[in-house]
Amino acid sequence: MRLKDLVDGGSDATITGFAIDHRKVAPGTIFGAFRGTRFNGEDYIAEAVKSGAVAVVARPEAKVEGALHIAADEPRRRFAGLAAKFFAPFPATTVAVTGTNGKTSTAELTRQLWRMAGHVAASIGTLGVTTADEQISTGLTTPDVVTFLSNMAGLAREGVTHASFEASSHGLAQYRTEGLPVRAGAFTNLSRDHLDYHETMEAYLEAKLRLFSEVTDPDGAVVVWADDPASERVTQAARSRGLRVLSVGTKGETLRLVSRTPNQLGQTLMIEVEGAQKKVELPLIGAYQAANALVAAGLVIATGGDAATTLGHLSRLVPVRGRLERAALTRAGAPIYVDYAHTPDAIRAAIEALRPHATHRLHIVLGAGGDRDKGKRPEMGKVATDLADVVYVTDDNPRSEDPATIRSEIMAAAPGATEIGDRRSAIAAAIAAAGAGDIVLIAGKGHEQGQIVGDRILPFDDVAVARECAA
């Protein structure tokens, strides 16, 4: 592809790729110079041109010499549009999931349901790129736009026809998922998170609403978890563009959850669909996992799946890594669960999911990530102590912050909690204290394979550590 094929006024120069990191620029690259919270890409334009960039996408006032200046008031969006033309084609059917909690599970469960329907499917998100054959980590919920689009194009070349992906608030605000057709968007829920970046809940919601007001195809559909208070705003945004709305939940019209009964291996759902009730044995525990499964089913239906057949496939779903994953049993017979819950609402949901399965005490181990929204820390401590019987406050990913300070902010609203800084020791203490009829919940890191301390990532897997301590 030549530069002039992408932009007016371009030369015959051959485009070899796109980059937003000047260190990855090679001859023929189009460089995206964006202003970020920590770095300003415009400071590296000269270095990018020296390395061979043939064009630079940047604000009109940016200084570009020696390469074509593709000026745009919103350079991230312009860059994404150009990159999409370069990397296309993509899987024929793509859907996006946004919300505070449940994005990973919903995207992955959607992939599973598509596969059961006979499609070659994949998902992209916190777990990385997942297909029927492999899982490759990308390191972010929503990777940078170059990685995202190249991954999507790679999936299409491998024969993937259906792909689901997580659309985080950061990713939507920074146009990391632009350019490819999105047949359907989904909304799971909204609660406090990422206010270190968005500052207010309204700004946080507005970022997520972009999926419905701008990103989803004009003739596409939106799946909404109707039981969340923010669902009305999502529905309004969707209908203002003429998008088809499929609502699910106890207040849902497309898939109405009539009842939910926990059992030893999961839960029994009664779902009203097309005027009839259908019984589903869902092999996942917890109300929030039922919600994720129904939103996933809604996405499959929105993209052409048969409703009755899709609901029938729910009984064959497989738990998602690090999402209420049963890691081991203690010597006393208490099950140990690992969950990615790292917000007050997610901790509440995880505890409430496990409570019906605990005949005695529920123990929780939790911490909070450094360099992230500090305001949620005491809220996390309060929810844990209000709902669990035994609470251990430990380190999560402290990053550049003092771990003791993070723990103290959680402990301030967690009376009676035990503070153990070392995460392995905290997990070991909870497991040792759990008796028959108890349940242990290790919250915060889920599927993660490392603990971020300073600028280092130390090997740490909650599931592996839980199994070692239990043994």
108 marked as binding residue: no
Q: Pick the closest to residue 169 from 149, 199, 133, 139 (CA basis).
A: 199
Q: Pick the closest to residue 325 from 333, 335, 316, 334 (CA basis).
A: 335
99 marked as binding residue: yes
Q: Are 303 and 93 in contact (CB under 8 A)?
A: yes
Secondary structure element (H or E) that encloses residue 277, with its range = strand 276-282
Contacts of 346 (CB under 8 A, 6+ apart): 100, 101, 191, 288, 339, 340, 443
157 marked as binding residue: no
Q: Pick the closest to residue 28 from 15, 10, 19 (CA basis).
A: 15
335 marked as binding residue: no
Please state, in angstroms and rounded to a whole number, the distance separating the CA atoms of residues 105 and 111: 10
251 marked as binding residue: no
396 marked as binding residue: yes
Contacts of 39 (CB under 8 A, 6+ apart): none
3-class state of residue 268 by DSSP: strand
Ordered DSSP codes for 33-98: --B-SS-BGGGGHHHHHHTT-SEEEE-TTS---SSEEEE-SSHHHHHHHHHHHHH----SEEEEEE
The order of strands in the sheet holding 335-339 is: 325-329, 335-339, 439-443, 362-366, 390-393, 418-419
DSSP state for residue 15 in the 8-state scheme: P
Please state, in angstroms and rounded to a whole number, the distance separating the CA atoms of residues 414 and 365: 12
Cβ neighbourhood burial of 299 (10 Å; 0-12, 13-18, 19+) = buried
9 marked as binding residue: no
397 marked as binding residue: yes
Ordered DSSP codes for 342-366: -SHHHHHHHHHHHGGG-SS-EEEEE
Residue 159 has a CB neighbour count (10 Å cut-off) of 9
448 marked as binding residue: yes
131 marked as binding residue: no
89 marked as binding residue: no
85 marked as binding residue: no
Q: Pick the closest to residue 336 from 471, 467, 448 (CA basis).
A: 467
101 marked as binding residue: yes
374 marked as binding residue: no
Contacts of 127 (CB under 8 A, 6+ apart): 104, 108, 135, 137, 320, 321, 322, 447
98 marked as binding residue: no
103 marked as binding residue: yes
Please state, in angstroms and rounded to a whole number, the distance separating the CA atoms of residues 344 and 378: 9
399 marked as binding residue: yes
Annotated binding site for ATP: 99-105
Annotated binding site: 99-105, 141-142, 168, 174, 176, 372, 396-399, 444, 448
Annotated binding site for meso-2,6-diaminopimelate: 372, 396-399, 444, 448
